[in-house]
């Protein structure tokens, strides 16, 4: 993601020319990334508005009473919750289709990403919050990685969608993009020899254009989650910040000139 200023635009601000919807996101949020991946895969012209979750405006709770991202504004309405928002985008913009046409195959796709949502993601965050290679939490996450690997084994295809990347892959991917960050924090790493299918899937996903468009700087990702664990997250990390004038030292005792304090250029 390229560096830019995060401008908070309310729902009543007109869409920029050429955009068909607005999505409220947050730079490092994996849940919001689900919707951004669908937008990228379908080539939807969207107005991306990153929200500082430390400073949510009152009107944002009118869009989502939970105060969470993503929120998608389209055709005079809005939807929230990551899976609901992503499925809405799939239905509202059917080309190219990212879900299988066959009902049974489509149901199995939902089984794959719902397992990861209900079991894999909680295990991921439990280990992240521990902040070290806790044996029990590591095993718990590895067991769910094994389940995903076995899904691919049974399916006999390179992607959870089948022969090509699809909706289910995008719903699972954001947390696997964050696995290198998890390694930095807890030393957790997926052994390629033990889980070759999921490792191969990760390799293929990195080659996907939508994944590349929605990716975040891995170093900033690690920095964000280290701050997140300490209770002081920076939800605008990666954004271009205003230039703050450094305070001049008046003497060697370190007294500062109050006229320069908190000034911005």
Sketch the domain layout of the chain as residue ranges: 21-96, 103-214
**Could you tell me the two tokens for 124?**
């991921």
Helical packing angle, 218-229 and 179-186, nearest 10°: 50
In the residue annotation, 29 being an active-site residue is answered as: yes
Per-residue confidence band for 76, with pLDDT thresholds at 50, 70 and 90: very high
One fold for 21-96 and 103-214: no
Give the pLDDT confidence of 164-173 residue by residue, as tens digits: 999 999 999 9
Per-residue confidence band for 262, with pLDDT thresholds at 50, 70 and 90: very low
Residue 50 CA to residue 114 CA, distance in Å, equals: 26
| Set 23, 26, 29, 152: catalytic member | 29
Backbone angles phi, psi at 218, to 5 degrees: -65, -35
Global pTM reads: 0.89
Domain 103-214, CATH: 1.20.1050.10
Q: Give the pLDDT mean for 235-240.
A: 91
Cβ atoms 74, 21 nearer than 8 A: yes
Class of domain 21-96: alpha beta
């Amino acid at each position: 993601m390229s560096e830019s200023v995060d401008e908070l635009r309310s729902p009543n601000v007109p869409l920029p020319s050429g955009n068909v919807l607005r999505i409220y996101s947050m730079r490092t949020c994996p849940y919001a990334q689900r919707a951004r991946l669908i937008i990228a895969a379908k080539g939807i012209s969207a107005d991306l508005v990153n929200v500082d979750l430390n400073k949510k405006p009152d009107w944002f709770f009118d869009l989502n009473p939970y105060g969470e991202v993503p929120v998608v504004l389209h055709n005079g309405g809005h939807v929230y919750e990551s899976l609901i928002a992503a499925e809405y985008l799939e239905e509202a913009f059917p080309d190219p289709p990212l879900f299988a046409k066959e009902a049974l195959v489509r149901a199995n796709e939902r089984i794959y990403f719902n397992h990861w949502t209900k079991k894999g993601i909680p295990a991921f965050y439990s280990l992240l919050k521990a902040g070290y290679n806790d044996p029990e939490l590591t095993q718990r996450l590895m067991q769910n990685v094994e389940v995903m690997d076995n899904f691919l084994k049974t399916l006999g295809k390179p992607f959870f969608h089948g022969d090509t990347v699809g909706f289910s892959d995008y719903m699972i991917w954001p947390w696997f993009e964050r696995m290198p960050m998890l390694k930095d924090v807890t030393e957790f790493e997926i052994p390629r020899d033990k889980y070759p299918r999921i490792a191969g899937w990760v390799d293929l996903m990195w080659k996907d254009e939508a994944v590349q468009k929605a990716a975040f700087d891995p170093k900033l990702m690690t920095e964000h989650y280290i701050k997140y664990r300490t209770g002081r997250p920076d939800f605008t990390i990666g954004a271009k910040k205003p230039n703050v004038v450094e305070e001049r030292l008046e003497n060697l005792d370190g007294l500062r000139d109050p006229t320069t304090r908190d000034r911005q250029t």
